[in-house]
Amino acid sequence: MKTNCWESENCGRQPGGLRTSELGVCPASTEALHNGKNGGRNAGRYCWKVPGTLCEGRVQGIWASKMMACTACKFFELVKREQGSDFQA
């Protein structure tokens, strides 16, 4: 598996993470429906499509409302670059 968003961003919201009592468990870290997309664990490399992820210091909503922030995110760009033609947006 490749680096997941919670590892790259060091947010501490993965199960057992340091900030789960404060911010809750990030749904990207537990969303099994997207397991393996872009080579990640659960939605760890597909976080932009999952509501409730932590971006820019605040919990984000659905894709339509967070699209601009996500597509400008360094992690999004990293995944896109690493996946090349296999990138799943």
Averaged pLDDT, groups of 10, the chain, 89 residues long: 93 94 94 97 96 81 84 95 96
Reported as half-sphere exposure (CB side, CA atoms, 13 A), residue 82 has a value of 15
Look at residue 3 in the predicted model and tell me its pLDDT: 97
Residue 14 to residues 26, 44, 53, 76: CA-CA distances in angstroms?
6, 10, 11, 18
Structure confidence at residue 60 (pLDDT):
82
Predicted structure pTM score: 0.90
Domain boundaries along the sequence of the chain: 5-83
CA distances, 38 to each of 17, 24, 35, 43, 83 (Å): 23, 24, 9, 9, 6
Task: Check residue 87 and give its pLDDT.
Answer: 97
Residue 65's pLDDT is what? 83
pLDDT at site 57 = 73
Determine the Cα–Cα distance for residues 15 and 70; give it in Å rounded to an integer: 22
